[in-house]
Amino acid sequence: MTSVLRTRCALLSLFLGAFAMGSGELIVVGVLRPAAQDLHVGVATAGGLVTAYALGMCCGGPLLTAVTVRLDRRTLLWLSLAGYVVGNAAAARASGFVPLLAARVGTGALQGLFLGAAFAVAARLVPAERMGRALAAVFGGIAVATAVGVPLGTLVGQRLGWRVSFAAIGALGLLALLLAVVCVPRVAATRPAPLAAQARHALAPRVLAVLGVALLLMGGQFAAFTYVTPFLADRTGITGTPVSLFLLMYGTATAVGVLCGGRAADRGAATTLLSCAVVLVAALALLVLAGGVPVVAGFGLLVWGLVGFGFVPSVQRLVLVLAGPGRDLAATLPAAAVNLGIAAGALVGGRAVADRGPTAAFVTGLLVCLAAVPAVWAVRRSTARAASAADPAYESVAETVESVPEPPPARGR
């Protein structure tokens, strides 16, 4: 196998692994009701499966990464993919809600471990000038999973049972593992960077404000999105196969929104963040007020998908610029904020569903996102000057934020 072909094969394995894990993260949204019925729990309780996965990725992922920091990156890829296959097999065979919940926590933590290793490997597979495209292979797997993997998994789950959906995710992970074993070369483990010197910059108030906005916007969204299937069934009367079509439309819009959001962030991250927040509120309001009409519901999901994740590149860019010397540490914080928002949103939405039904979850999500708009406005005003001043010295952020090895110290002449 030539080096070029092996590199492409290795990137394909990273793409497929990210695709499998991105699908597995949200697959439960599409099969929430049948899983709840089979496990004899309420829909609101079953929504905790989303929370469990997000908490596993947010907390368990960094912990596993810290514990395994000295291991070879290729070995970490193998271990995380193998563990993910086992975790999804356990989810497919879960005898009750608690074992399934435990499997979701474990697979979430393994996804966090995999992504860190995948970005490090991708950065070393190609020359420096092509690093951004290599990293995009991993990001692309997650984006395509949202657009295609989740709707297809939902369709499989509704036709063949929710357990088959988890088994299919495990099969994809196994294929990614086999490709990784064959194609991914050995790469050196990176030395852990000292954290104390970076913490003051990475946890500066302006950085925390941006992270807080991300948490609110993502929390509001997932208070609603976790229960989009029962919402469509109760308000719009859409069940079965058409739900997959609606989720496919949403997922496609999400993938497009992430790509467009990256370009918009380069033009003006703070303005993009504010614009996405305002449009997001409008889309959720449309669904709450007129979601009973299928065409309106579809349009609302389409707009929601375009902006719902389109603001994430802006958050990443703002955090990295504002953190300055602490950007290596700060690079990990947006993902943590996003996943905390997902976990908290699913939990809050579940309480709303238990009290007043699926529509209440959408009202809750709307109110949380609405409350975030003035916070976004304040962040935009407070960060615009700092980001503008820092940006000229900020080169190729997208190509350098992930675990890139530091050059050896220069020797004296």
Least confident of 121-125, 169-173, 355-359: 121-125
Does residue 296 or residue 58 have the better pLDDT?
A: 296
**Which pLDDT band, with edges at 50, 70 and 90, does 410 fall under?**
very low
| The pLDDT of residue 193 is above 60 | no
pLDDT for 16 equals: 93
Average pLDDT in the chain: 81
Q: Please indicate, yes or no, whether residues 208 and 328 belong to a single structural domain of this protein.
A: yes
| The pLDDT of residue 188 is above 60 | no
Domain limits for position 257: 196-396
pLDDT for 258 equals: 76
Identify the domain boundary among 165, 189, 213: 189
Give residue-wise pLDDT tens across range 53-102: 888 888 887 778 767 766 787 888 999 999 999 999 999 999 899 999 99
Least confident of 154-158, 205-209, 309-313, 382-386: 382-386
Total domains in the chain come to: 2
pLDDT for 261 equals: 78
| The pLDDT of residue 403 is above 90 | no
Q: Please indicate, yes or no, whether residues 158 and 242 belong to a single structural domain of this protein.
A: no
Q: Please indicate, yes or no, whether residues 204 and 69 belong to a single structural domain of this protein.
A: no
Has residue 410 been placed in a domain?
no
Q: Please indicate, yes or no, whether residues 21 and 65 belong to a single structural domain of this protein.
A: yes
Has residue 140 been placed in a domain?
yes
Mean pLDDT of 342-369: 90
Does residue 235 or residue 387 have the better pLDDT?
A: 235
Q: Please indicate, yes or no, whether residues 227 and 243 belong to a single structural domain of this protein.
A: yes
C-alpha to C-alpha distance for 80 and 24, rounded to whole angstroms: 14
CATH number at 304 reads: 1.20.1250.20
C-alpha to C-alpha distance for 26 and 220, rounded to whole angstroms: 16
pLDDT for 68 equals: 77
Has residue 166 been placed in a domain?
yes
C-alpha to C-alpha distance for 45 and 262, rounded to whole angstroms: 35
Identify the domain boundary among 174, 189, 204: 189
**Which pLDDT band, with edges at 50, 70 and 90, does 393 fall under?**
very low
Q: Please indicate, yes or no, whether residues 176 and 214 belong to a single structural domain of this protein.
A: no
Give residue-wise pLDDT tens across range 1-15: 567 787 888 889 998
Has residue 6 been placed in a domain?
yes
pTM assigned to the model: 0.68
Q: Please indicate, yes or no, whether residues 229 and 333 belong to a single structural domain of this protein.
A: yes
pLDDT for 18 equals: 87
Has residue 401 been placed in a domain?
no
Q: Please indicate, yes or no, whether residues 48 and 170 belong to a single structural domain of this protein.
A: yes
Mean pLDDT of 380-389: 62
pLDDT for 191 equals: 54
| The pLDDT of residue 128 is above 60 | no
C-alpha to C-alpha distance for 330 and 332, rounded to whole angstroms: 5
Has residue 142 been placed in a domain?
yes
| The pLDDT of residue 284 is above 90 | yes
C-alpha to C-alpha distance for 398 and 313, rounded to whole angstroms: 9
Burial 391-412 (b: 16+ CB within 10 A, else e): eeeeeebbbbbbbbeeeeeeee
Q: Please indicate, yes or no, whether residues 238 and 358 belong to a single structural domain of this protein.
A: yes
> Helix, strand, coil shares of the chain as percentages rounded to 5?
85, 0, 15
C-alpha to C-alpha distance for 353 and 41, rounded to whole angstroms: 13
pLDDT for 198 equals: 62
Has residue 403 been placed in a domain?
no
The residues near 49 (Cβ < 8 Å, ≥ 6 apart) are 28, 32, 35, 100, 101, 104
pLDDT for 333 equals: 74
| The pLDDT of residue 172 is above 70 | yes
Identify the domain boundary among 166, 189, 212: 189
Q: Please indicate, yes or no, whether residues 95 and 165 belong to a single structural domain of this protein.
A: yes
Q: Please indicate, yes or no, whether residues 308 and 345 belong to a single structural domain of this protein.
A: yes
pLDDT for 116 equals: 74
Has residue 118 been placed in a domain?
yes
Q: Please indicate, yes or no, whether residues 372 and 332 belong to a single structural domain of this protein.
A: yes
C-alpha to C-alpha distance for 413 and 411, rounded to whole angstroms: 6
